[in-house]
Amino acid sequence: MFYLYILYSISSDKYYVGYTNNVERRLHEHNNSERTTYTSKHRPWILKKFIAISADRGFSMKIEKAIKKSKSRVLIEKIISEIFSVEELAELVRVPMHRD
């Protein structure tokens, strides 16, 4: 299962959106990686939200890409406060759900 996750940096007042199959591991990596990355410059990160998306990695990537492409803090904050299912999320970012 892949998850969409949203991190928040108190020090930089920034959000980061990603997808993963292990939210705990990714949060740890963002806060502890020795590599210099975008997220390493804005530590510490706290987990604000995660939503189970799908076992399909491609679909999870489409959701993440749609959110990042919007570059909208308002959208991210809406997801954090108002979105609780993959169906609501897909509708909000206009990514069609799979019909198996």
What are the start-end ranges of the E strands in 1-100?
Answer: 2-9, 14-20, 45-54
Of the options 2.40.50, 3.40.50, 3.30.70, 3.40.1440, the CATH number for the domain spanning 2-93: 3.40.1440
Q: Is residue 67 predicted with pLDDT exceeding 70?
A: yes
Q: Please state the pTM of the whole predicted model.
A: 0.93
d(CA 22, CA 77): 22
pLDDT of residue 98: 65
Specify the length of the chain in residues: 100
d(CA 9, CA 47): 9
Q: What is the pLDDT of residues 40-58, one digit of tens each?
A: 999 999 999 999 999 999 9
Per-domain boundaries in the chain:
2-93
Identify whether the C-beta of residue 84 lies closer than 8 Å to the C-beta of residue 78: no
Q: Is residue 63 predicted with pLDDT exceeding 60?
A: yes
Q: pLDDT-derived band of residue 100, with 50, 70 and 90 as boundaries?
A: very low
| Sequence letter at residue 78 | K
